[in-house]
Structure 1
């Protein structure tokens, strides 16, 4: 279907009232048929994004189908868990259908409002998944970017495979890493979230596990059998959600074929590179980050390559994204989506979004975008402030569930964080080998725990006559 035809099709548009109404959305006349497939296998309910030719990119039609079904299953005693996957063998979801949004914005204020309504719809869906009262599993099998990250990152179980390609590429198109990026990116180890947000760096396969994006790494060949096994699990009515999650976690571990060896696939965001990322991306202004990269000597080649990458991005996107990373650390999951809705509305009115999408996604071959303004110096603090101001009297996004939190309640299923490792080192001072085994045992010998803990200890500790000590930066 031609892109322009899709813009005027109600399958893409969100209802005009979606920006303020808390009502559960329903399908609209003209919504695409079969763009989402639903299935029931014993106690498992599956959501399969079914636009493989578009890499399962998310549009309003899909969101309007998924949300009512999620609400229905949440009340059902027969539905034990939810599985989200993508049709075909290339992608879970490559993002939102931003090409249609950009063309829509060219219609002026009305089109910009309709685009903003779509983001309100998408963020309600993401928030519903983030606060869902039943276990959710997401198969990040293939390309998982932008909107696809929103459908996976907030689930307790996020399965990476050898085909996973994760990225938040929004600064390349004059936008910002949304779909909850304000929440999960600043909470990754050190400055890795800031780095991923600004540069759009990709993480392939097992790297998504090491970085804290995925909770598990499995070979794609086992997903079908694991799905069948999970569907057969029976939970007593009185079993609380944490216990149900523990049972599922143990079941998934049974299907592991192990991780690629570190010789074959070393941890990417590790060692001297990771130290350089923390050194260069710790600042609160883009000008300071550029200066730090330009002055970097230990990882000079990486720093110069990163400078070139950042120099091609929208200066407005870079400054807004950096502010987002710093403020988002303090936002709850609900506040995150309310704030991102306001930021998205501002970007729909900004020329960089239309220009970025056309340059990178619609031009053949892709071209360098012409940003307005063109330099960091021209993007004032007042301009950035406007993206974060909430106009007086304006209705804020109303979400569809009451759950809220400051940290993911199920983060124990990911690899241990650097902060957790630091805490043990500071409290114990024991030998590195003992700390590694302590974490391995506590995490039930989960794949990747030993590798992650060993890398952190090698980079951030030193042996002294008083025992292992954490290196201050």
Structure 2
């Protein structure tokens, strides 16, 4: 049985449901329509299927993010309803993926950023290929790594998660696997055959055994961040951005890599850096549901702040890559400014997910 939609295609056998993102012209960026269709299908399939496969159509992207441009343009004219509903429904979908009753397999073949990370990172099984390009670049747009990142990033090895969240570092191909973001690495030419084998699976053991057979061993020594993991842990263990910058400054004269990291951080939104750091440390002791509800509050507050539109404008509208964030420097961002992101927001009809 096949149900054809404009933006999501659902295919179903007796035991396996396959979801295909179908907005390749927009790099499969998630909009509200797509989120609603995925939510409905997952709720149905976890009761009627044995396995779910999530993949995308197109050559370039699995999913390059969420439709934040539409959220920002609406917020700019004072319409926050779309953004409030979008994030509420998206995070509800992320939570469902993370708590699904049946195995969920994601093919991260191509660009996997932002909202695409949310579709993948909570999966039981996450397949990277040589085409995978992973990043969480939200601090660059006056936002914060969301879709459950406050749960996932603190649970990565050492402080690699905080580093990735603050810098938006891009990881390619096997590096996504060696960072622990993917559970398996499969060459893209083998994905079709892998899918055909997964269509015969009836549970976790079948799925894992199948994925293990297709998994290709890669050289961990080629993980681009491996030489820097010690430095990352030594620096990003700090719970204040000012201390992170101070420690980086101690090593900058002897390390070109540290200089690049510092430049990257200075290019981010100062408020986003501090908000992301606080969310990371709070997320250490919270479950996924709690983290997503915290992020929902943060998102509702963030889209009402000037930095969000300014970041989107600079990256996706004017595309001048020259955002004017306010405050413009890290020391100017006060604790009160950061705390406001975490206070209960009662200005919308969307409560907890």
2:98 is aligned to: 130
2:318 is aligned to: 363
1:358–1:394: structure 2 CA closer, same or farther, 3 Å change rule? closer
2: CA distance between counterparts of 1:395 and 1:90?
Answer: 37
1:80 is aligned to: 50
Quick check: 1:42–1:232 contact (8 Å CA) kept in 2? no
> Is 1:245 aligned to residue 204 of structure 2?
yes
Give 1:49-448 correspondences, 5 Å limit: 49-76=21-48, 79-108=49-78, 111-233=79-201, 235=202, 244-256=203-215, 258-261=216-219, 266-271=222-227, 273-296=228-251, 300-364=255-319, 366-391=320-345, 397-399=351-353
Which one has the largest radius of gyration? 1
Q: What's the RMSD between the two structures over aligned residues?
A: 1.8
2: CA distance between counterparts of 1:188 and 1:396?
Answer: 30
2: CA distance between counterparts of 1:161 and 1:35?
Answer: 23
With the length of structure 2 as denominator, give the TM-score of the two structures: 0.95
Quick check: 2:186–2:214 contact (8 Å CA) kept in 1? yes
1: CA distance between counterparts of 2:345 and 2:41?
Answer: 34
Q: 1:44 aligns with which of 10, 16, 19?
A: 16
Q: How far 1:298 sits from its partner (Å)?
A: 8.4
Q: How far 1:253 sits from its partner (Å)?
A: 1.6
Q: How far 1:66 sits from its partner (Å)?
A: 1.4
2: CA distance between counterparts of 1:360 and 1:392?
Answer: 30
2: CA distance between counterparts of 1:276 and 1:268?
Answer: 13
2: CA distance between counterparts of 1:195 and 1:298?
Answer: 20
Quick check: 2:131–2:173 contact (8 Å CA) kept in 1? yes
1: CA distance between counterparts of 2:253 and 2:107?
Answer: 37
Q: How far 1:202 sits from its partner (Å)?
A: 0.7
Q: 2:7 aligns with which of 35, 47, 50?
A: 35
1:17 is aligned to: none
Quick check: 1:167–1:200 contact (8 Å CA) kept in 2? yes
CA deviations 1:39-83 (Å, max 9, x no partner) are 02442211101000100000001111111111111221xx21001
1:299–1:268: structure 2 CA closer, same or farther, 3 Å change rule? farther
Q: How far 1:394 sits from its partner (Å)?
A: 8.1
More helix by share: 2
2: CA distance between counterparts of 1:113 and 1:198?
Answer: 28
CA deviations 1:270-307 (Å, max 9, x no partner) are 23x11111111111111111111111158621111111
Give 1:3-14 correspondences, 5 Å limit: none
2: CA distance between counterparts of 1:36 and 1:59?
Answer: 11
Quick check: 1:312–1:368 contact (8 Å CA) kept in 2? no
Where structure 2 has 5 or more consecutive residues not aligned to the other structure, the ranges are none
2:126 counterpart SS class: strand
Where structure 1 has 5 or more consecutive residues not aligned to the other structure, the ranges are 1-31, 236-243, 400-473
2: CA distance between counterparts of 1:195 and 1:133?
Answer: 32
Quick check: 2:301–2:345 contact (8 Å CA) kept in 1? no
Quick check: 1:42–1:231 contact (8 Å CA) kept in 2? no
Number of residue pairs the alignment of both structures matches: 350
Q: How far 1:33 sits from its partner (Å)?
A: 4.8
Q: How far 1:393 sits from its partner (Å)?
A: 10
